[in-house]
Chains A and B, each alone.
Chain A
Amino acid sequence: MKSNNQPKIVCQNISKVFIQKGSQRVHVLEDISVDVKPNEFVVILGPGQSGKSTLLRIIAGLETPTTGTVTLDGKEVSGPGADRGLVFQSYMLFPWKTVLGNVELGPRLRGIPKKERREVAQRYINLVGLQKFEKHYPHQLSGGMKQRVGIARAYANNPEVMLLDEPFGQLDAQTRYFMEKETARIWETEKRTVLFVTNNIEEAIYLGDRIISLQGKLPGRMHATYEVNLPRPREQTEMKFLELRQKITDASELVL
């Protein structure tokens, strides 16, 4: 590990233009610069249609930026890789594999022996609280449990950076709140550099060390950055929590 001042991820002046249906230009991101320190939990907050998922996909290496660069530990990102674990909004589990089979995907692809990868998978299944569900298939799990599998799978691949793309967007409000608590707990148990995309202000404040908000309506632009200096575990009804929420809400309304 390098010294803590060295940023883990640096996005510099990223813009993205998609060409759709051969001739239609869609300007999705404009001049985004973000850097994330090691083991920092950064939330990218933006309304729908602000390009935040695209930004995450660029960092994951699934899209190439039209201009600008992404570097990880000083090296430019040129494609997807096991050093960045991505958790999808739509879970994306293999329906024909059990929880264990899904979680051990990464180690299995890297050719790690069965016994060893079972141990790793089991450890993260326990971490996300899915012990006794190892043999279940995704269709037997609830939405929240499926996303736990997604998180365990990302962790089991031992990435340096976790990228979460609106992971709780498909969950009901109660489960979502519970999963946010779980995410905070898991992250504090095993710290990683995290980039978390969401459109939910409370979720952003509850989880983030730092919140980077994007301006809505395409193309997405940098809007504001908020440091969240609240002690963990946080309470959503705390005075300071509500003040920050008010501040972010007010600022967002001006833009919209």
Chain B
Amino acid sequence: MAYEQVKVETPLVLRILPVASILLFFGVWQAVVELKIVPNTMLGSPTQVMALFWEKLFEANPDGAVLTTHAYISIIEAFTGFFLSLIVGVPLGLLMGWFALAEGLARPIFELIRPIPPVAWIPLTIFWFGIGIPGKVFIIWLSGIVPCVINSYVGVRMTSPTLIQMARTYGATDWDIFKKICIPSALPMVFGAMTISQAYCWTTLVGAEYLAADQGLGYLITMGRRLAMPTMVLLGMICVGLTGVAIGIIIERIEKRLLAGIRR
């Protein structure tokens, strides 16, 4: 065998350092609160957050819902917005990349709307949809669609021109080339868009819920502020972070699966 599997050990120090770093972070945080360096009205300690986490799993008060409901609502909103942005954004970007007509029509409008931060749409959204789920989905959709369109567009644009010429010598029509060459070539970029778009959606979700919601993790943060409970704010923040990481990992797994046959 020319290629042998060998095990390369990471030095002990390098393996310990990340763990030590995290322990130190939480230790200092705990100490800062315990020793009243920062008053408890401004910051909750990690143990307090843990306790509230446990409590909120079963207790709907004071904000009106248990933690799992908040998380569930947020995930539903984020994913609905995310899927809608994929369904609209990817085909739009692909078409814009290949057909001059699509680009000419859609690009100016897209470029006009793109620089407006999705959160700036919140007031209008409240007029249109109220504070229910559809409004938040709309805002999330707006933020998720941007990377979908851009990545799909660039993906098609990066198609090898020689491959296109080759297909022409085989009598391929524009539509054939789009379907059989441009789309497969663009796929790695499109899957890349999934990761980016999901991250955008999740970020915007918290903003959307912060202003217009009655349930969801962002709403939990808002309620924490209104009730002057820094521990609840922190709990909301941590839950948003952890759920975001979890979704990110799942999407990355899916992306790797899908790309296994393409990226070589």
Chain A residues packing against B (C-beta within 8 Å): 60-62, 79-82, 84-86, 88, 90, 92, 94-96, 105-106, 109-110, 137, 139, 157
Cβ–Cβ < 8 Å partners of A85 in chain B: 169-170
A92 lies within 8 A of B168 (CB): no
B264 lies within 8 A of A82 (CB): no
A109 lies within 8 A of B169 (CB): no
User: Nearest chain B CB to A139's CB is how many angstroms away?
Assistant: 5
A94 lies within 8 A of B169 (CB): no
Give the residue of A90, A110, A139 whose beta carbon is less than 8 angstroms from that of B264. A139
16 contacting pairs across A/B (C-beta < 8 A) = A61-B169, A62-B165, A81-B169, A81-B171, A82-B169, A82-B170, A85-B169, A86-B169, A88-B162, A94-B163, A94-B184, A106-B170, A109-B176, A137-B264, A139-B264, A157-B171
Asked if B211 lies at the interface with its beta carbon under 8 angstroms from chain A, I say: no
Asked if B262 lies at the interface with its beta carbon under 8 angstroms from chain A, I say: yes
Q: How many cross-chain pairs have Cβ atoms below 8 Å apart between A and B?
A: 49
Cβ–Cβ < 8 Å partners of B264 in chain A: 95, 137, 139
Chain B residues packing against A (C-beta within 8 Å): 160, 162-163, 165-172, 176, 181, 184, 261-262, 264
Report the Cα distance A82→B165, complex, angstroms: 12
A92 lies within 8 A of B176 (CB): no
B169 lies within 8 A of A84 (CB): yes
Instruction: Identify 11 new A-B residue pairs, CB closer than 8 A, beyond the known A80-B171, A85-B170.
Output: A80-B169, A88-B162, A88-B166, A92-B160, A96-B184, A96-B261, A106-B170, A109-B170, A110-B171, A139-B264, A157-B171
Report the Cα distance A82→B172, complex, angstroms: 9
Most chain A CB atoms below 10 A, which of B160, B162, B169, B184:
B169
Report the Cα distance A92→B170, complex, angstroms: 13
Cβ–Cβ < 8 Å partners of B166 in chain A: 86, 88, 92
User: Nearest chain A CB to B26's CB is how many angstroms away?
Assistant: 47
User: Nearest chain B CB to A111's CB is how many angstroms away?
Assistant: 10
User: Nearest chain A CB to B164's CB is how many angstroms away?
Assistant: 10
Give the residue of A62, A88, A90 whose beta carbon is less than 8 angstroms from that of B168. A62
Cβ–Cβ < 8 Å partners of A106 in chain B: 170-171
Give the residue of B168, B181, B261 whose beta carbon is less than 8 angstroms from that of A80. B168
Report the Cα distance A109→B172, complex, angstroms: 6
Report the Cα distance A79→B168, complex, angstroms: 9
B171 lies within 8 A of A92 (CB): no
Q: A94-B181, A95-B264, A96-B261 are in contact. Are A109 and B171 (CB under 8 A)?
A: yes
B261 lies within 8 A of A82 (CB): no
Report the Cα distance A145→B166, complex, angstroms: 18
Closest to A57 in B: B165
B170 lies within 8 A of A105 (CB): yes
Report the Cα distance A84→B171, complex, angstroms: 10
Closest to A97 in B: B184
Closest to A79 in B: B168
Closest to A138 in B: B264
Q: A94-B181, A94-B184, A96-B262 are in contact. Are A62 and B171 (CB under 8 A)?
A: no
Cβ–Cβ < 8 Å partners of B181 in chain A: 94
Report the Cα distance A157→B172, complex, angstroms: 12
Report the Cα distance A158→B166, complex, angstroms: 15
Closest to A105 in B: B170
Report the Cα distance A145→B184, complex, angstroms: 23
Cβ–Cβ < 8 Å partners of A79 in chain B: 168
A62 lies within 8 A of B262 (CB): no
A157 lies within 8 A of B170 (CB): yes
User: Nearest chain B CB to A161's CB is how many angstroms away?
Assistant: 11
Report the Cα distance A61→B166, complex, angstroms: 11
